[in-house]
Structure 1
Amino acid sequence: MSSRRAKEWKEKFPDSYCDAYISFCLPKLLNPLIRVHLISWNPLENFTELEEMPWFRAIEEFSDAENVSESKRDDDHDDEVLPRVIEKTILPKITAFVKSVWDPLSTSQTKNLVQLCNNIFVKQTLSKNESSRAREDLMNTVVLRMKKSVEEDVFIPLYPKSTVEDKSSLRSKFQERRFWSAVKLLSNVVLWDGIVQEDKVRDLGLSKLLNRYLLLNILNTPPGPDNIQKCKKVVACLPERWFQDLRGGSTLPELLNFSQHLLQCAHALHKDNHSDETKEILLLLVKIGALHIVEDFIEEHKLEHLKAMTGK
């Protein structure tokens, strides 16, 4: 490989090597060779650590400071070869997969992609000049692809309640399938939290997906086991860290309508003496940080035995 010959050159003629700025040329020289190695690589189907690939190990060995000549000069930039290769070759290839191949509704594909991106951004030190542009292109493509999926793949029909009361009816089954498909997409969107900017994840997952589609179905589901199950799954999708630093006992702005629905369910269930189900709903409100709602409900209905769930 080119890196091996460059290493030999550096060991024998270090001054000539540095004067030729080889470390800046290598990423472009290696690009077509690495692309050949990656012809059969599909990061969506089979997750493979970059560190396990032969080309990666070869460049890593070449860039390793412990293996370079003792006469290393201040203008030696070999440690930037690997980050530049990742930026100029790997990230654009991943971006192409995201744009043309990735299905945001596929949990396995999304998990593989998230794991790969997380490993690259956490383990690899991308060069300051290029990383922001390469990473930004990838993240923008991820967001656009998820937005397209929300707009084109999500469809939850609203039927009159009388036509879906029979759970075995075709309309009811179809509506449920579409609902749970949208919940799956919500779960996959939220997997990007910590990699994609939080405000963009919340906009896609909560403002667009939950409030625009899922909540309409939940509002048309009578209070009871089915409604509770749907609400539980929605809350289970949401990262706990979103609610760790909330102040004032209020939930996220995007969850105000959802929290009001939970409150209405709690009132209806309490009125029908379903104490266990009422407690389940209140616990969901606690999980999303709507503590004031829970405290007011407990005080209104004199449920002092439930005060402990608010942490007070």
Structure 2
Amino acid sequence: MICLCARGSRTRRRQAREQNGKRAEHKEGLSSDDEETSTDMTSVNMERDRIIRECKKAFEDVVEDFHSLDCIKSHFEVWRREYADCYRDAYIGLCLPKLFNPLIRLQLMTWNPLEAQCANFEYMLWFESLLFYGFEENSVLQRGDGDICLLPSIVEKVILSKLTVLAEQVWDPLSNSQTARLVGFIRRLMKSYPTVLHGENRYTQELLRMIVFRIRRTLDEDVFLPLYPKNVLENKNGGPYLFYQRQFWSCVKLLGNILQWEGILSGSCLRDLALDSTLNRYILSALQTTDTGEDNVPKCQKVVECLPVQWFSGLKGQKTLPQLEPFCRYLTHLASSFHRGSLGGSDLERRSAKDLIKEVVKMLGQMNALDHIITVAAEHGIKDIKPLLEAKS
């Protein structure tokens, strides 16, 4: 039933786009409509409510002094205040994160930063309760006081651990909204907790490994780009053509989602995932098996738009990244196809072909592929490339 409703709402939105004249602008596969799930949301919400009810019973049989975070915390605050030396010698600061862990996890049971209305964990009761733990009026914390690291340690052991599980079991790399939320949340953690989110931290390493694993699994199991014979795709209203277009744009969306991890994943890892495993493996193969018509220009432009500009700002010489060479060669071939197709045509057709070739040149310029620009310009009489060459010199 939910699946039929989702399809119905998607159809209504498509019809609305057609009535508003926006059908041409919309690319099936890039839409957030594709992220709708056929899962019975009513059943999911009922199960969620059941879990919340069960959580409230977790400490029903616990004595009053230990049934809540505040109660347990108060005992340690008294110990710290009245028996400071004993408290310090017992290394209580190292034990507290593990002690508070189950109580905090209980409060975080339904917390999910992949959801649109996810609460900020720093505004939750457990965080506010522990925020000033160890601080007393008219006192100064010592530099080596372990309690200073209480909250960062909890973020490390609880928040990052939960994120790792969510990345493995909940996050869909094909979902633009989920990816944007996850990336945004991790960036905020990197800014707010730099002593936790760094390459040497094992919890951070495990989270990043899981993110890479999940992307690779999506590439291997969830991406499918059919390679139809060109004559099958001639009918642009036919099922094969529409399915191919949808799958192609879905793959482009995945490329954009992967590249959102720029600055979080290492450059070599990101280029392997985005360029070798997505662009060259799927997108470029699909482009090469279709007619080199002008429809491929906006597809290539969308790919180039996804690429981080900082990848090219530090490049020296006239060559682009090695992983982008196959794509640049395809663009050069595309320009040649436009030129050949205009030979013997009308003035309008020749001007149109030249405009398309200029668009190809712009894309090559954005990728610092100046050697390819020079080749295209020489073969097809494009004269206004000097600004591009000067900008990259």
Q: TM-score of the superposition, structure 2-length normalised?
A: 0.74
Q: What CA distance in whole angstroms lies between the structure 2 residues aligned with 1:156 and 1:81?
A: 49
Paired position in structure 1 for 2:121: 50
Matched, 1:230 2:299: yes
Matched, 1:193 2:262: yes
Instruction: Give, in angstroms, the shift of residue 180 of structure 1.
Output: 1.0
Residue 122 of structure 1: which of 167, 185, 191 is its match? 191
Instruction: Give, in angstroms, the shift of residue 78 of structure 1.
Output: 1.4
> Alpha-carbon deviations, 1:70-93, whole Å to 9, x = none?
254453121211111111111111
- Equivalent position amino acid for 1:51 in 2: E
Matched, 1:288 2:370: no
- Comparing 251-260 with 108-117, which one deviates more in the overlay? 108-117
Q: What CA distance in whole angstroms lies between the structure 2 residues aligned with 1:74 and 1:118?
A: 28
Instruction: Give, in angstroms, the shift of residue 108 of structure 1.
Output: 1.1
Unmatched segments (≥5 aa) in structure 2: 1-69, 343-349
Instruction: Give, in angstroms, the shift of residue 228 of structure 1.
Output: 0.3
Q: What CA distance in whole angstroms lies between the structure 1 residues aligned with 2:109 and 2:310?
A: 39
Matched, 1:266 2:266: no
Map 1:69-84 to 2 at 5 A: 70=139, 72-84=141-153
How many percent identity over aligned positions? 38
Paired position in structure 2 for 1:112: 181
Work out whether residues 248 and 286 of structure 2, in 8 Å CA contact, stay in contact via their aligned partners in 1: yes
Residue 212 of structure 1: which of 258, 263, 281 is its match? 281
Residue 278 of structure 1: which of 350, 357, 363 is its match? 357
- Equivalent position amino acid for 1:76 in 2: D
Q: Evaluate the alpha carbon distance shift between residue 119 and residue 60 of structure 1 in structure 2; reply closer, same or farther with a 3 A threshold.
A: same
Matched, 1:163 2:232: yes
Work out whether residues 193 and 201 of structure 1, in 8 Å CA contact, stay in contact via their aligned partners in 2: yes
RMSD (CA atoms): 2.2
Q: What CA distance in whole angstroms lies between the structure 1 residues aligned with 2:244 and 2:152?
A: 48
Q: Evaluate the alpha carbon distance shift between residue 234 and residue 71 of structure 1 in structure 2; reply closer, same or farther with a 3 A threshold.
A: closer
Say how many residue pairs are matched.
310
Paired position in structure 2 for 1:25: 95
Q: What CA distance in whole angstroms lies between the structure 2 residues aligned with 1:267 and 1:57?
A: 64
Instruction: Give, in angstroms, the shift of residue 19 of structure 1.
Output: 2.3
Partner of 2:166: helix, strand, or coil? helix
Q: Evaluate the alpha carbon distance shift between residue 280 and residue 127 of structure 1 in structure 2; reply closer, same or farther with a 3 A threshold.
A: closer
Q: What CA distance in whole angstroms lies between the structure 1 residues aligned with 2:302 and 2:322?
A: 19
**Max Rg structure:** 2
Paired position in structure 1 for 2:130: 59
- Equivalent position amino acid for 1:292 in 2: D
- Comparing 3-12 with 145-154, which one deviates more in the overlay? 3-12
> Alpha-carbon deviations, 1:34-56, whole Å to 9, x = none?
00100111221134433222222
- Equivalent position amino acid for 2:89 in 1: D
Paired position in structure 1 for 2:271: 202
Q: Evaluate the alpha carbon distance shift between residue 125 and residue 56 of structure 1 in structure 2; reply closer, same or farther with a 3 A threshold.
A: farther
Instruction: Give, in angstroms, the shift of residue 276 of structure 1.
Output: 1.4
> Alpha-carbon deviations, 1:136-158, whole Å to 9, x = none?
11100110010000011111111
Q: Evaluate the alpha carbon distance shift between residue 116 and residue 5 of structure 1 in structure 2; reply closer, same or farther with a 3 A threshold.
A: farther
> Alpha-carbon deviations, 1:3-24, whole Å to 9, x = none?
4543444344433332232211
- Equivalent position amino acid for 1:279 in 2: K
Paired position in structure 1 for 2:18: none
Q: What CA distance in whole angstroms lies between the structure 2 residues aligned with 1:246 and 1:18?
A: 54
Instruction: Give, in angstroms, the shift of residue 298 of structure 1.
Output: 2.3
Work out whether residues 167 and 210 of structure 2, in 8 Å CA contact, stay in contact via their aligned partners in 1: yes
Q: TM-score of the superposition, structure 1-length normalised?
A: 0.92
Work out whether residues 190 and 197 of structure 2, in 8 Å CA contact, stay in contact via their aligned partners in 1: no
